[in-house]
Amino acid sequence: MRFDILTIFPESLDGLLSVGVIGQARDAGHLRIHLHDLREFTDDPHRIVDDRPYGGGAGMVMKVEPFVRGIEAIRGDCGPNTRTVLLSSQGRLFQQRDAKQWAALDGLILLCGRYEGIDERIVEFIDDEVSIGDYVLTGGEAAAAVVVEATARMTPGVVGKYDSVESDSFYGKDGRLGAPQYTRPPVFRGLEVPETLQSGDHAKIEAYREAEAWKKTARNRPDLIGLNVEGTDADG
């Protein structure tokens, strides 16, 4: 899969998207990530990407033309099954199911805003507008990294053992959290690893994990319970 990120700070994403599972997948050729400097798509000597807002008000607004030129240039290099997505505090909430669906695409073109955001006419040139949560960031770069991390992780071949994706939080049809995990030592400052996990009895371990996962979901994310559940009383 291929990701193209259009930003005024391409260097800001370099480190994060070169390490760990993502870095390895890039080296192995499973993923391609291209960071594009938005200023390359300006047509004035000062490479200006922002201007004052119509109607007045504080702050600057990003101009629409560099983004549209960028999208059109990048699309020429992408497969037919590519989506253009704007990272925006005003978008619909990005979720695991989007990551799962997008992982089947040829590619994603991700647009990062700054300042007060992008001229609204950009919505005519994109396929989707997503937010990573109900808070305002200073720019779309951190959000683009979130989308790349989540989507790349769902691309076969990226996470070594695909199994580990299937037992993750939000993955299954019930959308619950994953089970709590432990590793050695068996006792740390008097805190013991649950006995069942050390028993070697796989059926018992499976049942224990299922129960603990639901307990943790109820404690930390009660809002997830009853969502997307097939064959239960989710509809009352």
Binding footprint of ligand SAH on the chain (CB under 6 A): 87-90, 112-114, 116-118, 131-133, 135-137, 139-140, 143
**H-only helix segments in the chain:** 20-27, 64-75, 96-102, 141-153, 163-166, 202-220
Given the complex with ligand SAH, which of 87 and 152 has the nearer CB atom?
87
d(CA 185, CA 173): 34
d(CA 143, CA 110): 10
Given the complex with ligand SAH, which of 130 and 159 has the nearer CB atom?
130
**Cβ distance 160 to 208 under 8 Å?**
no
Strand order in the sheet with 107-112: 32-37, 2-7, 107-112, 82-93, 128-131
**Least separation in angstroms between CB 115 and ligand SAH:** 6
**Least separation in angstroms between CB 223 and ligand SAH:** 18
**Least separation in angstroms between CB 126 and ligand SAH:** 12
Q: What are phi and psi of 79, to 5 degrees?
A: -65, 165
| Closest residue to ligand SAH in the complex (CB) | 113
Given the complex with ligand SAH, which of 140 and 175 has the nearer CB atom?
140
**Least separation in angstroms between CB 234 and ligand SAH:** 28
Given the complex with ligand SAH, which of 74 and 179 has the nearer CB atom?
74
